[in-house]
Amino acid sequence: MSDPKTIVCKPSKWFKTRAIAVAAMLTFFSLWFFKDGYWGYREKNVAFVTNLLFSDKGEKFPESLDFAVAASNEFNKEKYTAETWAAFASEQIIPAPEDKSLMPRDYDYSQKWPEEIVNGYNELKEDKPYKLWEAYSSRTSLPIKPSEEIYDAGTIREQFIVCGICVALLLFAIFICLRIMGRTMKVTPTGYSPPGGDEIPFTAMRKLDKRKWDGKGLAMIHYEEDGEIKKAKIDGMVYGQFQEEDGAPAEALFTQIMENFKGEVIEFVSDDDEDEDDEDESESAEKSKSTTESE
């Protein structure tokens, strides 16, 4: 408050806390979707594609995975010894999809089969390639259970789209916050100035709706300007708030408006008050009926 008759309500701690929370949330989601689109889903595709090499299903892969090769299938095509298998496997390249957008930008398409498969003659002979995957995933820190399907280009693209939406919402939220932070709500001896608006003289106010004031800190002023009825909001939660340690500036501002307001006030009517009015009307009706009958 600048003086006893002029009360200025600046953006409240309540608003600032929530503005920071919203900005933090949108920032988090923006980074999260960007991460998934740029490298997250691609890294998961590496695990998925490599795991196909260790597949023990012994069946053909679907057409969408026409690049896939299972070491166990190759092992069963011929009769190998440990030496001949190692010689064959050491020359093979890990198969990968032709669409390079599905894999990390630094993915090495010329990398050979892992040493676990090259030296896994016994496990392949026992039809237990999953043991080789356990060893390989442990060494390379890949997940023991990769995703069940490959993330296609459309799914990866969606991550960037959602990231862009989150960034747009973040920028919009920052714009709104900066606009609110640069405004105040003020009452003077002559009138009320809503955030970002000109002063409304008390003499121009016609109606004040305070039904939401006690519960939400909101009230609406109906005022006349150039022969037209307009509205202006009093928002005590965003501006000033009601903290006693801060002097409850929003409540002080609203009190001063009420003291100078001469128009119609719309107040909240509680259920108890309505019940009492109904009881009074019932009693009056019964008395009136009794009087009529006695006559």
Full DSSP string of 69-121:
--HHHHHHHS---HHHHHHHHTT-B----S-GGGS-TT--TTPBPPHHHHT-H
Residue 39: its pLDDT value, please? Answer: 92
How distant is the alpha carbon of residue 266 from its chain centre? 37
pLDDT digits (tens, 9 = 90+) for 131-167: 999 999 999 999 999 998 999 999 999 999 999 999 9
pLDDT digits (tens, 9 = 90+) for 41-98: 999 999 999 999 998 755 678 888 889 999 999 998 889 999 999 999 999 999 999 9
Picking from 208, 219, 213, 209, the residue whose alpha carbon sits closest to that of residue 261 is 208
Residue 272: its pLDDT value, please? Answer: 54
pLDDT digits (tens, 9 = 90+) for 94-135: 999 999 999 999 999 999 999 999 999 999 999 899 999 999
Residue 100: its pLDDT value, please? Answer: 92
pLDDT digits (tens, 9 = 90+) for 200-228: 999 999 999 999 999 999 999 999 999 99
Q: How far apart are CA 69 and CA 62, in angstroms?
A: 11
Picking from 216, 173, 182, 163, the residue whose alpha carbon sits closest to that of residue 21 is 173
Q: Does residue 206 sit in helix, strand or coil? A: strand
pLDDT greater than 90 at residue 174: yes
Residue 286: its pLDDT value, please? Answer: 52
Token couple for 224: 């006349």
- What is the mean predicted confidence (pLDDT) over 12-34? 95
Residue 189: its pLDDT value, please? Answer: 93
Q: Tell me the pTM.
A: 0.74
- CATH fold for the domain made of 184-275: PH-domain like (2.30.29)
Tell me the one-letter amino acid at 29: F
- What is the mean predicted confidence (pLDDT) over 189-197? 94
Both ends of the chain: CA-CA distance in Å? 66
Q: How far apart are CA 186 and CA 190, in angstroms?
A: 11
Token couple for 88: 């064959």
Residue ranges, comma separated, of all CATH 2.30.29 domains in the chain are 184-275
Picking from 39, 28, 40, 23, the residue whose alpha carbon sits closest to that of residue 163 is 28
Q: How far apart are CA 197 and CA 192, in angstroms?
A: 9
Helices (H), ranges, the chain: 13-35, 41-53, 71-77, 82-89, 115-118, 121-125, 129-140, 153-181, 213-216, 249-260, 271-294
Residue 291: its pLDDT value, please? Answer: 45
Token couple for 153: 């280009």
pLDDT greater than 80 at residue 264: yes
Residue 243: its pLDDT value, please? Answer: 85
Sheet holding 7-9: strands in order across?
Answer: 7-9, 185-187, 191-193, 200-201
Token couple for 133: 């995957």
Q: How far apart are CA 281 and CA 192, in angstroms?
A: 40
